[in-house]
């Protein structure tokens, strides 16, 4: 299959090279940008960043920007763009078919996942929302320690990269605006003037501007250090260092076939170096902006030449910041600070010894070893364990190497999940943990434990495919942790309205048929499907795998809202539930009585129809109480993947002490729950205005 793919690449590359043999490479690359991305990024229908990169790779093998002696104004490269686009798309389809077919023939359970990951890396650009990416990168790199390392190994600092990136965008935008406005001004000035009477100088100017805009746009798209340095507030040397760091150069020693084959089968260099340089200080952009989704990878690659510097970065910056970003995101969602962060505790040498580290252990140091946990949230009777990993996926994994991917997954997702589950088992077995100072952390009140494995790297389909990770032995079969990137966790923190929603999401994603039934390229697609109320599995479909497509249009608009000047701000995505039920969940949370979090998650797990039925029950109880002045109550219970909750609703009549109603209802709850085998019971007492007055939990 690889031989056939290489043969087809040779045919298409030769055809593409012939189409543009006389053209200026910068003209062709910018024309492809206009075709694939549009004047406004992502505006062109059917566009692909990879198509730009394939064409650019062909051009880079010519040896120089314009080797042909044919005058530039006679080359007409714009007429070749559609054919270049079609030939590039054909190669992309062939490469994808090769990936999937080769994976299907491989017996390794990770082979298909490796192919899908490689496909995602190859085809997806701008993996992160700029607001989230910039905030995370600022925490990682905008500090004295990182600045010194970046200056030493790259020749510039993080703020300088950002400044140059913004300057490139501003220069390009200014040039486009000037051409557009200049052309419009001349046309308006000559509106109604017969063509033969338009001044020759103005007609020539319009033609010149249109040529620069869309026919021979290479000069207009060219960037140099002295173009961006003044806007970026840096000297020319620093601007040149940034531009060069993210550039590729013309080199005829590498054939176009080899370049394109390596891109489609191995590693795409444009992901990290999206600029093309003519070697004389002139640069043109291909797809990504400078540093987008690649700065950390470039920095870490530069650091590997000095083991001491890399260790300092890893331990003092990457690990610490990853943990803090994860804890900040969860603290925002859960509306509470972590109970323990970067804490040390005693863990058993093996699972069989867990029970020996109970509260009665005389010397935990003699039984277990001292290890570190990243975060532990205690909210009511729920514990959420957090483990983070800052390690990046290796280039071999990103290009589909199954053996290396297996190792990387074990060292990131596997280790994080195992460490989180270790704390979970200690809590569930011993009802507490021995901390490093040999104090006993009593967690006997905990009735539900959930685990989160948060990664600094964006792993896309690797994190969403929990079922396949279980099959491959990377993640355990029983109630696996939720696997997420720090970017996705931070994004959810900006969207999630209540802690109960998040607990419900953790349950659905890790402890239900959803774990193996749904698969997506991005965790945020699953989260949006959840918010829409569609992340559930019919009983007859549990064995099937459902590929989730893009559900983030609404989320994209909201996350990018600050860049949409002059338009009405989009609405924030929210959980799809009966509005009155959301209000009730918020009222329960506001009381903050024991059991509020699990009760809220249980209510949100019900379908909209059942939620309305419960609200109707409460309304009916109220009518009965108002009719006869007596207390009325009703019980409701249901089976769920998360044991069997029971709800008891009561109306407290006017004039009756609500504490007396609570005493009676609580006694009834205890008796009835035992009869029906309910693991937890929630009692809600309302007044005759249907206002929640008391919350009971058993």
Q: Which two tokens stand for residue 361?
A: 């252990």
pLDDT of residue 476: 86
Give yes or no for a contact between 576 and 532, defined as CB atoms under 8 angstroms apart.
yes
Tell me the DSSP string of 539-566.
Answer: GGGTTS-EEE----HHHHHHHTGGG-TT
Sheet containing 448-455: which strands, arranged edge to edge?
A: 340-348, 368-379, 382-389, 448-455, 482-485
Domain residue limits at 625: 579-697
pLDDT of residue 177: 87
pLDDT of residue 542: 67
Q: Between helices 319-334 and 499-510, what is the axis angle to 10°?
A: 120
Q: Is 270 helix (H, G, I), strand (E, B) or coil?
A: helix
Say if residue 290 is in the same domain as residue 412: no
Q: Structural domain tally of the chain? A: 3
Distance in angstroms (rounded) separating the CA atoms of residues 289 and 50: 14
Say if residue 322 is in the same domain as residue 289: no
Question: pLDDT tens, 488-546?
Answer: 999 999 999 999 999 999 999 999 888 888 888 899 999 999 999 999 888 777 667 78
β pairing state of 282-285 and 340-348? unpaired
Pinpoint the alpha helices (H) of 142-232.
144-153, 158-189, 200-210, 218-221, 225-232
* Cβ-Cβ contacts under 8 Å for 239 (sequence gap 6 or more): 164, 167, 225, 226, 228, 229, 232
Say if residue 321 is in the same domain as residue 219: no
Say if residue 123 is in the same domain as residue 233: yes
Mean pLDDT of the chain: 91
pLDDT of residue 472: 87
Question: pLDDT tens, 159-212?
Answer: 999 999 999 999 999 998 888 888 888 878 777 778 777 787 877 888 888 888
Say if residue 131 is in the same domain as residue 195: yes
Say if residue 275 is in the same domain as residue 141: yes
pLDDT of residue 471: 85
> Is the torsion defined by CA of 210, 214, 219, 223 positive or negative?
positive
Q: What mean pLDDT comes out for the span 479-485?
A: 94
Q: What mean pLDDT comes out for the span 673-682?
A: 92
Tell me the DSSP string of 81-146.
Answer: HHHHHHHHHHHHHHHHHHHHHHHHH---TTHHHHHHHHHHHHH----S-HHHHHHHHHHHHSSHHH
Q: Which two tokens stand for residue 364?
A: 């935990």
- Which residue among 300, 333, 348 closes a domain? 300
pLDDT at 42 over 80: no
Question: pLDDT tens, 331-351?
Answer: 999 999 999 999 999 999 888
In a domain, 123, yes or no: yes
Q: Is 210 helix (H, G, I), strand (E, B) or coil?
A: helix
Q: How many CB atoms lie within 10 A of CB 375?
A: 25
Distance in angstroms (rounded) separating the CA atoms of residues 33 and 561: 24
Residues above pLDDT 90, as percent of the chain? 70
In a domain, 306, yes or no: no
Distance in angstroms (rounded) separating the CA atoms of residues 604 and 645: 12
Say if residue 181 is in the same domain as residue 72: yes
β pairing state of 448-455 and 482-485? parallel
Say if residue 591 is in the same domain as residue 470: no
Secondary structure element (H or E) that encloses residue 615, with its range = helix 608-628
Give yes or no for a contact between 27 and 218, defined as CB atoms under 8 angstroms apart.
yes
Q: Which two tokens stand for residue 232?
A: 């970026």
pLDDT of residue 44: 46
Q: Which of 170-184, 285-299, 391-405, 682-696 has maximum average pLDDT? A: 682-696
In a domain, 92, yes or no: yes
In a domain, 214, yes or no: yes
pTM for this one?
A: 0.92
Q: Is 527 helix (H, G, I), strand (E, B) or coil?
A: helix
Q: Which two tokens stand for residue 129?
A: 């929302």
pLDDT of residue 565: 64
Distance in angstroms (rounded) separating the CA atoms of residues 479 and 481: 7
When mean pLDDT is compared across 326-335, 539-548, 643-652, the lowest value belongs to: 539-548
In a domain, 310, yes or no: no
pLDDT of residue 554: 94
Instruction: State the burial class of residue 121 (Cβ atoms within 10 Å of its Cβ: 0-12, 13-18, 19+).
Output: buried
In a domain, 39, yes or no: yes
Q: Is 284 helix (H, G, I), strand (E, B) or coil?
A: strand
Q: What mean pLDDT comes out for the span 657-682?
A: 93
In a domain, 190, yes or no: yes
In this prediction, residue 242 has a pLDDT band, given cuts at 50, 70 and 90, of very high
Say if residue 146 is in the same domain as residue 254: yes
Q: How many CB atoms lie within 10 A of CB 540?
A: 7
Reference 400, options 115, 97, 121; nearest CA is: 115
Question: pLDDT tens, 573-628?
Answer: 999 999 999 999 999 999 999 999 999 999 999 999 999 999 999 999 999 999 89
Q: Is 44 helix (H, G, I), strand (E, B) or coil?
A: coil
pLDDT of residue 246: 95
- Which residue among 300, 331, 347 closes a domain? 300
Say if residue 183 is in the same domain as residue 250: yes
259-272 as b/e: b if 16+ CB within 10 A:
bbbebbbbbbbbbb
Say if residue 470 is in the same domain as residue 585: no
- Which residue among 300, 328, 358 closes a domain? 300
What's the distance, Cα to Cα, between the start and end of the chain in Å?
Answer: 62
Question: pLDDT tens, 273-297?
Answer: 999 999 999 999 998 889 888 899 8
Say if residue 588 is in the same domain as residue 538: no
Which neighbouring-strand residues pair with 223? Answer: 283
In a domain, 405, yes or no: yes
In this prediction, residue 356 has a pLDDT band, given cuts at 50, 70 and 90, of very high
Question: pLDDT tens, 59-82?
Answer: 999 989 999 999 999 999 999 999
């Amino acid at each position: 299959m690889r031989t056939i793919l290489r043969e087809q690449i040779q045919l298409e590359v030769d055809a593409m090279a012939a189409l543009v043999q006389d053209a200026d490479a910068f003209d062709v690359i910018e024309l492809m940008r206009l075709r694939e991305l549009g004047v406004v990024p992502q505006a062109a229908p059917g566009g692909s960043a990879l198509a730009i990169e394939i064409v650019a790779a062909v051009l880079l093998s010519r040896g120089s920007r314009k080797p042909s002696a044919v005058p530039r104004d006679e080359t007409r490269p714009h007429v070749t763009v559609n054919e270049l686009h079609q030939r590039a798309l054909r190669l992309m389809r062939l490469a994808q078919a090769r990936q999937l077919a080769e994976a299907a023939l491989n017996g390794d359970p990770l082979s298909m996942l490796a192919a899908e990951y490689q496909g995602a890396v190859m085809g997806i650009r701008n993996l992160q929302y700029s607001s989230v990416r910039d905030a995370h990168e600022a925490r990682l790199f905008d500090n004295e320690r990182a600045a010194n390392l970046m200056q030493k190994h790259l020749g510039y600092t993080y703020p300088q990269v950002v400044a140059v990136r913004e300057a490139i965008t501003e220069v390009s935008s200014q040039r486009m605006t000037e051409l557009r406005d200049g052309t419009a001004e001349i046309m308006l000035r000559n509106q109604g003037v017969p063509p033969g009477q338009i001044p020759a100088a103005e007609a020539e100017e319009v033609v010149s501007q249109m040529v620069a805009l869309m026919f021979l746009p290479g000069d207009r798209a060219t960037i140099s250090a002295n173009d961006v340095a003044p806007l970026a507030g840096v000297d020319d040397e620093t601007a040149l260092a940034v531009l060069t760091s993210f550039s590729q150069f013309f080199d005829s020693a590498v054939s176009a076939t080899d370049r394109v084959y390596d891109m489609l089968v191995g590693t795409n260099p444009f992901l990290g170096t999206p600029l093309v340089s003519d070697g004389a200080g002139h640069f043109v952009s291909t797809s990504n902006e400078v540093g987008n989704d690649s700065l950390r990878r470039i920095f870490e690659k530069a650091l590997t030449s000095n083991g001491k510097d890399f260790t300092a970065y890893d331990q003092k910056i990457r690990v610490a910041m990853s943990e803090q970003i994860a804890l900040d995101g969860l603290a925002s969602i859960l509306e509470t600070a972590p109970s323990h962060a970067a804490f040390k505790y005693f863990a058993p040498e093996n699972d069989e010894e867990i029970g020996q580290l109970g509260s009665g252990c005389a010397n935990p140091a003699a039984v277990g070893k001292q290890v570190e946990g990243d975060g532990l949230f205690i909210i009511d009777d729920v514990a959420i364990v957090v483990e983070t990993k800052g390690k990046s996926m290796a280039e071999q994994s990103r290009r589909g190497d199954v053996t290396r991917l297996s190792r990387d997954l074990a060292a990131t997702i596997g280790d994080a999940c195992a460490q989180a589950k270790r704390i979970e088992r200690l809590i569930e077995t011993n009802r507490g943990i021995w901390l490093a100072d040999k104090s006993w952390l009593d967690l006997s009140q905990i009735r539900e434990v959930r685990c989160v494995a948060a990664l600094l790297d964006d792993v896309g389909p690797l994190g969403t495919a929990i079922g396949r990770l279980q099959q491959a032995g990377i993640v355990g079969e029983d109630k696996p942790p939720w696997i997420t990137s720090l970017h996705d966790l931070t994004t959810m923190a900006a969207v999630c309205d209540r802690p109960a929603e998040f607990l419900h999401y953790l349950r659905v994603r890790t402890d239900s048929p959803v774990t193996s039934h749904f698969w997506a390229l991005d965790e945020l697609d699953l989260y949006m499907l959840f918010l829409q109320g569609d992340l559930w599995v019919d009983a007859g479909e549990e064995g099937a795998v459902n590929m989730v497509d893009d559900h983030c249009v609404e989320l994209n608009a909201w996350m990018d809202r600050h860049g949409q000047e002059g338009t009405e701000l989009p609405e924030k995505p929210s959980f799809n539930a009966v509005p009155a039920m959301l209000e009730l969940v918020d009222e329960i949370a506001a009381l903050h009585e024991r059991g509020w979090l699990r009760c809220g998650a249980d209510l949100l797990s019900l379908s909209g129809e059942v939620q309305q039925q419960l609200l109707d029950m409460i309304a009916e109880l109220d009518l009965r109480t108002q009719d006869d002045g007596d207390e009325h109550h009703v019980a409701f219970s249901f089976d769920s993947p998360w044991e069997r909750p029971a709800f008891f609703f009561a109306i407290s009549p006017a004039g009756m002490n609500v504490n007396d109603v609570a005493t009676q209802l609580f006694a009834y709850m205890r008796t009835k729950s035992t009869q029906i085998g309910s693991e937890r019971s929630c009692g809600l007492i309302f007044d005759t205005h249907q206002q929640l007055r008391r919350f009971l939990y058993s």
